[in-house]
């Protein structure tokens, strides 16, 4: 009996050893995660090295989640709230327009939004959802960012980076349709203009919708939306050490009246009886120049200068005359060690 037990124990032990050797010999495929670089601060760092509270949405995530505008991104970002049409949104309970003594402000912003390094006017952020066509990455910084982004970033900042030109030819297009007359189309493409010296890229997007409020007096839509955006980029490489990126963007937005009316003591949310058509309009032009000069293998010099102008026509102006154009300029120069940024 003892001999049988010893033989059985030896057989079981041998089987376990063989199984362990087989598992050890089996190749284990290492999963290599894509490195995410945060570009919204003074120095580019990887996500794990960034101390700021930031949510990064890459172009891959934008495609997988089918995010078309900032509203879609905010809906999935913790600590960010927004309302329909992006008319009001904020970070950690603070509205994008900031606070005054009597409530939300309209001029002193608390959240700054940058597109390709150019700050966006407050009205451009709330008039209509900002489209993300041909966007490479979106970074949402939660909490005060005044040290790196300026005084209008008390609650946070949003940094959007669109696709830069490459020397490889590329082209993409899309169309979309939805309820309430939503429809639109977009195209983007680019490539080399001069081999290894100059590359360009162009992106165009148009969206429109009828809205969900009817004007029963005019028998027409009360709050239709129309947005059109065009952007052109030029990458110039004069030498191996100098990169010059020039960007020009033009945008137009128009939004109808979404007033809530009361009739006979009853609120009419989706009907209005105005005898005139009222629209909020915005036209915006942005130019920027970014220069990257590599001093050596460890140090580089970066300069970014941007200029944004806008013309707005509020729906409540009796003469419907454009508001004065406002100019916003920003210049930033920084040096960075390649070792500290890796």
**106-144: pLDDT as tens digits:** 455 788 899 998 888 877 777 777 899 999 999 999 999
Cβ contact 151:144 at 8 Å: no
Residue 27 contacts by C-beta under 8 Å, 6 or more apart in sequence?
none
Q: What is the per-residue pLDDT for 320? A: 44
Show the tokens assigned to 266.
Answer: 């009853």
First-residue to last-residue Cα distance in the chain: 67
CB atoms within 10 A of CB 319: 6
Q: What is the per-residue pLDDT for 108? A: 57
Q: Enter the pTM of the model.
A: 0.80
Q: What is the largest CA-CA distance in the chain?
A: 108
Q: What is the per-residue pLDDT for 86? A: 65
Residue with tokens 């009205």: 123
Q: What is the per-residue pLDDT for 7? A: 54
Q: What is the per-residue pLDDT for 194? A: 96
Distance CA 270, CA 262 (A): 11
Q: What is the per-residue pLDDT for 78? A: 93
Residue 262 contacts by C-beta under 8 Å, 6 or more apart in sequence?
268
Q: Helix, strand, or coil here: 298?
A: coil
CB atoms within 10 A of CB 290: 19
Q: Which domains does the chain have, with CATH numbers?
A: 37-341 (2.40.170.20)
Distance CA 141, CA 39 (A): 11
Residue 37 contacts by C-beta under 8 Å, 6 or more apart in sequence?
44, 45, 46, 47
Q: What is the per-residue pLDDT for 61? A: 93
Q: Distances in Å between the alpha carbon of 121 and those of 105, 284, 308, 313, 315?
A: 14, 9, 8, 14, 18
Q: Which of the residues in the chain have pLDDT under 70?
A: 1-31, 84-86, 100-108, 315-342
Cβ contact 54:141 at 8 Å: yes
Show the tokens assigned to 285.
Answer: 């032009």
């Amino acid at each position: 009996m003892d001999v049988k037990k010893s033989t059985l124990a030896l057989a079981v032990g041998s089987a376990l050893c063989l199984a362990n050797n087989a598992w050890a010999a089996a190749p284990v495929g290492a999963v290599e995660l894509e490195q995410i670089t945060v570009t919204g601060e003074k120095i580019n760092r990887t996500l794990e090295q960034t101390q700021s509270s930031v949510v990064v949405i890459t172009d891959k995530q934008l495609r997988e989640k089918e995010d078309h505008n900032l509203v879609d991104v905010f809906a999935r970002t913790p600590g960010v709230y927004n309302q329909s049409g992006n008319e009001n949104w904020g970070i950690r309970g603070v509205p994008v327009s900031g606070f005054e003594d009597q409530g939300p402000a309209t001029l002193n912003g608390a959240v700054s939004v940058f597109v390709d390094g150019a700050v966006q006017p407050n009205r451009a952020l709330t008039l209509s959802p900002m489209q993300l066509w041909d966007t490479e990455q979106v970074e949402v910084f939660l909490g005060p960012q005044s040290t790196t982004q300026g005084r209008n970033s008390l609650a946070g900042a949003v940094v959007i980076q669109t696709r830069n030109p490459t020397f490889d030819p590329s082209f993409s297009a899309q169309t979309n349709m939805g309820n309430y007359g939503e429809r639109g189309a977009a195209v983007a493409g680019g490539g080399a203009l001069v081999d290894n010296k100059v590359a360009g890229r162009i992106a165009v997007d148009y969206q429109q919708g009828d809205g969900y409020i009817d004007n029963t007096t005019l028998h027409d839509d009360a709050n239709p939306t129309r947005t059109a955006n065009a952007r052109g980029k030029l990458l110039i490489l004069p030498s191996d050490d100098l990169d010059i990126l020039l960007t020009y963007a033009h945008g137009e937005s128009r939004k109808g009246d979404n007033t809530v009316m009361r009739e006979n003591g009853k609120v009419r949310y989706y009907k209005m009886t105005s005898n005139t058509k009222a629209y909020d309009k915005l036209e915006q032009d942005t130019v920027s120049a970014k220069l990257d000069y590599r001093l050596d293998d460890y140090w580089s010099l970066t300069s970014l200068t941007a200029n944004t102008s806008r013309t707005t026509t509020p729906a409540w102006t009796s003469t419907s005359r454009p508001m004065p154009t406002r100019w916003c300029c920003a210049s930033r120069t920084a040096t960075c060690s390649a070792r500290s940024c890796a």
